[in-house]
Structure 1
Amino acid sequence: MLKTEINTVATLCQLHTDLSDEEIRKIQEVVQNLQLIADLNQANVFIDCQTREKKHAIVVAEAAPSTAKSVYKNPVVGKFAYETFEPAVFYAFRTGKPLFLNHAFTQEGKKVEQSVVPIIGVHNRVIGTLIMEKDNSDKLQNQNKLKALTEANETLSELLLGMAENRPFIPEVIEESLFIIDQDLRIQYSNPAAMNLVLEMCSMECKSGNFFTTFFPNLEEICLRSDELVIQEVTIQNKVFQMKKIALVQNEQNSGSFIIFRDLTELREKERELTVKTVAIREIHHRVKNNLQTVASLLRLQMRRGIPEESKVHFVESLNRILSIASVYEIILSNSQNQDDVEIVSLIEKIGNMLVFSDDHEGKTITIDYSGPKLYIKSNLAVSVALVINELIQNCVKHAFTERNEGQIHVVIEEEASAIMVLVKDNGIGYTSTMKPSLGLDIVKMMIEHDLSGHFRIEGTSEGTVATVEFPFTREV
């Protein structure tokens, strides 16, 4: 505690109280440990002393915890405390007895848990009070929630047990099988769906008073569990059910259980079929990828064995197109979530790096970079996008940097409203409308308009060429 704070205690006591110098020193001794007390208890701590008239008290020292959030926004040293708002404090002054865990309000109107201990001076006189205040709003909120849940549980138990007395409140046409059993596992109520379920299990008719375990002997362990709620998937005669067991409580005593069976057989069968189909689709993707790589290998083999020089460029272009399509299936197969989706930036990066870094480009230094958010598109769209990007980047590599020693390609992916926009930029010689049309650009236009239902434009700028591809896209939620 700082020396200035010790002096403040003496000044306030001398101005407003009738404490002697010895009693003030006693208060100062307590003040020296005030911060330690606050940190240890994670609470705000104060010392109040009564005024000369004994009608009020004044706060002569305070400490906010450094180990927890303070319940006060502003300092209160020097402020008066009134009995109307601080009854526990004045009780301690009058009786010399402590009060613990008392509910109170701070001077800022916040609910707190308050404890008050009297500070005893000479001749057993109460010379001050040590006050500790903790924020208990969360504790009260949790208590209220617990009370509400307990009341709700009691009400539910009464309603459900009322069903066993021929006063049902749940419609009899509900699809789930409902049972109410008592603590001895005797059936007190079963709806028509539950009766039908029992008839499927055996030829016996389900009646009140039957033991639940007579029909479902393998579920006895679940029924005897003391948990308030048990949710478990169970198999009964080759059928799959979700079983919910809700404990019923009356007067804080277990009075039985409410059991719900939901038939999941059809759902699990569909999930199994979906898993089989997913495995089959991945196998197809794997075979398509292998077949494409086989075709690419055959083209490479033919090129190594010798082809006319004028045909070499056409072989390379065809090879790149095949490898671009194969890239789609490689990304699908690398997806650990077994989804038929392709992340577009990864696909474009894979194709771009293959085209730019797989050849020396007649000694030219060409670099490429990519930017854009993670967007996933279906594999059928991804094949068309792969071919389009292949043609655009290949066009940059072949035509943009003639008579230059280096070049830069930048691919930007953007999402705008319900569309994806891909921009392929280069800092080359620049495109003009008088240039001879190429097969590659014809492929791009055809695929964008027919396969992607999008738009394509290419234009020259002062810095080179910008090719823009835009096609509709709906992000899945």
Structure 2
Amino acid sequence: MNKTDMNAVNSLCKLHTDLSDKDIQKIKEVAKNLGLIADLNQANVFIDCPTREKKYAIVVAEAEPATTKSVYKYPVAGKFAYETFEPAVFYVFRTSKPIFLNHALTQEGKKVEQSVVPIVGTNNRTIGALIMEKDNSDKLQDQNKLQVLTAANETLSELLLGMAENSPYIPEVIEESLFIIDAEHKIQYSNPAAMNLVLEMCARECKIATLFFDYFPSLEGICQLPDELVIQEVTIKKKVFQIKKISLVKNDKNSGSFIIFRDLTELREKERELTVKTVAIREIHHRVKNNLQTVASLLRLQIRRGIPEESKVHFVESLNRILSIASVYEIILSSSSIDDVEIFSLIEKIGNMLVFNQDHDHKNITIEYTGPKLLVKSNFAVSIALVINELIQNCVKHAFNGLNEGKIMVIIQENPSLITVQVRDNGIGFSSPTTSSFGLDIVKMMIEHDLSGQFNIVGIQNGTIATVEFPLERE
């Protein structure tokens, strides 16, 4: 809400008007509420007062709405208003009568809808005008469009009715079935596709001047609707059609309708088949997820029943890999897509599983994620899941040896043709292993062969940065 400067209002009134102190106080009382009025009406609001010479008006207060875009780019308080541009304001000064919804032009040349009411002071004298202005350019544009559409409808009506009355010149090769019916719903024209449709649906010949409902009784309700344009999908004898009814207008009177049949049977059948396939694919995803979770449960059971200590770490790593792949299918099943995976959520799910759901020898390890939400295909996502699993697992396992706490950051970046994922930690730093690392071997293999990308890992002063880059689309 705008706060009007009362000192400025007082100064402008004393400098440019002959208003008494009592009248100026009345102007200031109205000005105090300008912000509320502007916000409530979603309009720019002003107070104009007549100057001493009565030839001009001076804008002594203004408020722009916080609830919508202002009509004005620049402040106008302190500027003069002229009758040429503000005839409604000067009419109110002279007659003390309000004007509502008047079309006007602002000092910046913008079309507005203007309402003006008088501000009455001592001795019932009009001492100012409260002005409200709204941008009506969109409304005028809509009115112009409506006029154009109305004219186009008139032209179309005359054209089509003329075709029906004389020799039709509608292209005979149009696939849709076209009918022109008059105000009494009798057929005046039908193209060859329409004739074939009647023959197929009704086993009868389509004849001019026959009642349209004799052939299509189920469409009587659609044809009698008063709307200028009706679009509905109907089923007639196991075939699906999109029906368009366009009212024909001549001399502002309904002269009949232009009816178009579009056969959607094959399209709807393909959609049904696609729906069946979609359900089948989701069922496959569901079974894969369940099978992976079953394997994970068997591994957990084996770990609980006891395994050699030197083997336990390998069991846990395998368990995490299986759960990371299962995360891909969980995300697919929780979304509306059947094959797209949002990788930010996927990485977050895997990271939280590795960091928060496991014991880390009493270390306090935290993880953060930043980056955009990107969609990739499910088979692509499985490779990403395994890579991220290995990199975060590597941090948890090696980065914080000898430390009581640590932090992991996963940063996702999207370039025009590449996705970059960095896994950083503030641990002891990376040093090249003396023997081959199975986890890093998995990462390199997945990046190079499955994702057609690059992998790099370096130790820095306070930790390690592992960087994965791969194209948005595989070659």
Kindly tell me the number of residue pairs found equivalent between the two proteins: 454
SS at match of 2:213: helix
Which sits farther off after the overlay, 420-429 or 34-43? 34-43
SS at match of 2:455: strand
Output the amino acid matched with 2:343. Answer: I
Contact 1:412 1:424 (C-alpha < 8 Å) held by counterparts: yes
Q: How does 1:395-406 map to 2 (within 5 A)?
A: 395-406=394-405
Q: How does 1:89-104 map to 2 (within 5 A)?
A: none
Bigger-Rg structure (1/2):
1
Distance 1:368 1:10 in 2: 66
Alignment partner, residue 374 of structure 1: 373
Pair 1:97–1:154, CA change in 2 (3 A): farther
Contact 1:47 1:131 (C-alpha < 8 Å) held by counterparts: no
Alignment partner, residue 189 of structure 2: 189
CA deviation after TM superposition for structure 1 residue 239, in Å? 0.9
CA deviation after TM superposition for structure 1 residue 225, in Å? 0.6
Distance 1:325 1:149 in 2: 56
SS at match of 1:218: helix
- 1:314 to 2:324 alignment: no
- 1:450 to 2:449 alignment: yes
RMSD: 4.3
Pair 1:162–1:346, CA change in 2 (3 A): same
Alignment partner, residue 17 of structure 1: none
Deviations along 1:106-144, one digit per CA (max 9) or x if unpaired, are 67666567899999xxxxxx9999897866854544433
Pair 1:58–1:190, CA change in 2 (3 A): same
Distance 1:356 1:37 in 2: 57
Which sits farther off after the overlay, 39-48 or 169-178? 39-48
Contact 1:187 1:207 (C-alpha < 8 Å) held by counterparts: yes
Pair 1:341–1:127, CA change in 2 (3 A): closer
Distance 1:132 1:405 in 2: 69
Q: How does 1:434-445 map to 2 (within 5 A)?
A: 435-445=434-444
Contact 1:50 1:128 (C-alpha < 8 Å) held by counterparts: no
TM-score, normalising length: structure 1: 0.79
CA deviation after TM superposition for structure 1 residue 88, in Å? 11
Alignment partner, residue 206 of structure 2: 206
Deviations along 1:308-328, one digit per CA (max 9) or x if unpaired, are 333222222222222221121
Alignment partner, residue 411 of structure 1: 410
Alignment partner, residue 18 of structure 1: none
Contact 1:12 1:78 (C-alpha < 8 Å) held by counterparts: no
Q: Which runs of 5+ in 1 are unaligned?
A: 15-20, 120-125
Alignment partner, residue 122 of structure 2: none
SS at match of 1:414: strand
SS at match of 1:361: coil
Alignment partner, residue 471 of structure 2: 472
SS at match of 1:204: coil
Q: How does 1:259-274 map to 2 (within 5 A)?
A: 259-274=259-274
SS at match of 2:175: coil
Output the amino acid matched with 2:234. Answer: V
Contact 2:46 2:59 (C-alpha < 8 Å) held by counterparts: no
Which sits farther off after the overlay, 57-66 or 165-174? 57-66
Distance 1:411 1:395 in 2: 13
Output the amino acid matched with 1:222. Answer: I
Contact 1:352 1:393 (C-alpha < 8 Å) held by counterparts: yes
Contact 1:9 1:61 (C-alpha < 8 Å) held by counterparts: no
Distance 1:191 1:266 in 2: 22
CA deviation after TM superposition for structure 1 residue 385, in Å? 1.3
Deviations along 1:435-458, one digit per CA (max 9) or x if unpaired, are 322111111111111111111122
Contact 1:49 1:129 (C-alpha < 8 Å) held by counterparts: no
Pair 1:326–1:48, CA change in 2 (3 A): closer
Distance 2:367 2:32 in 1: 62
CA deviation after TM superposition for structure 1 residue 306, in Å? 3.0
CA deviation after TM superposition for structure 1 residue 12, in Å? 6.8
SS at match of 1:382: helix
Alignment partner, residue 122 of structure 1: none
Q: Which runs of 5+ in 2 are unaligned?
A: 120-124
Output the amino acid matched with 1:364. Answer: K
Deviations along 1:157-177, one digit per CA (max 9) or x if unpaired, are 112212213454542211211
Which sits farther off after the overlay, 38-47 or 308-317? 38-47
- 1:347 to 2:346 alignment: yes
CA deviation after TM superposition for structure 1 residue 5, in Å? 7.4
CA deviation after TM superposition for structure 1 residue 186, in Å? 0.7
Contact 2:88 2:116 (C-alpha < 8 Å) held by counterparts: no
Deviations along 1:164-214, one digit per CA (max 9) or x if unpaired, are 134545422112111111111111111222112111101211122121111
Alignment partner, residue 144 of structure 2: 144
Pair 1:104–1:370, CA change in 2 (3 A): closer
Pair 1:320–1:210, CA change in 2 (3 A): same
Distance 2:457 2:207 in 1: 79
TM-score, normalising length: structure 2: 0.79
Contact 1:5 1:61 (C-alpha < 8 Å) held by counterparts: no
- 1:420 to 2:419 alignment: yes
